[in-house]
């Protein structure tokens, strides 16, 4: 049971980190699909 709780917290941190990095970028990434993919993988990891 503790393992699932720790895993959930880790996935939340990973998702917040991904969105934080995209929002803090200094210039636009030329490949918008890659940025969307990176954010999507963080969200899907959080959702399970």
pLDDT in tens, the chain (48 residues): 788 888 888 889 989 999 999 999 999 999 999 999 999 998 888 887
* pLDDT computed for residue 32 by the predictor: 94
Provide the token pair at 38.
């990176």
* pLDDT computed for residue 40 by the predictor: 93
Q: How far apart are CA 21 and CA 37, in angstroms?
A: 14
Question: What pTM was estimated for this model as a whole?
Answer: 0.72
Query: Token pair 């959080």 is at which residue?
Result: 46
* pLDDT computed for residue 1 by the predictor: 72
State phi, psi for 34 to the nearest 5 degrees.
-65, -40
């Amino acid at each position: 049971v503790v393992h699932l709780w720790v895993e959930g917290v880790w996935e939340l941190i990973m998702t917040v980190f991904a969105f934080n990095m995209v929002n803090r970028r200094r210039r636009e990434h030329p490949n918008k699909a890659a940025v969307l993919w990176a954010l999507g993988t963080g969200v899907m990891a959080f959702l399970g």
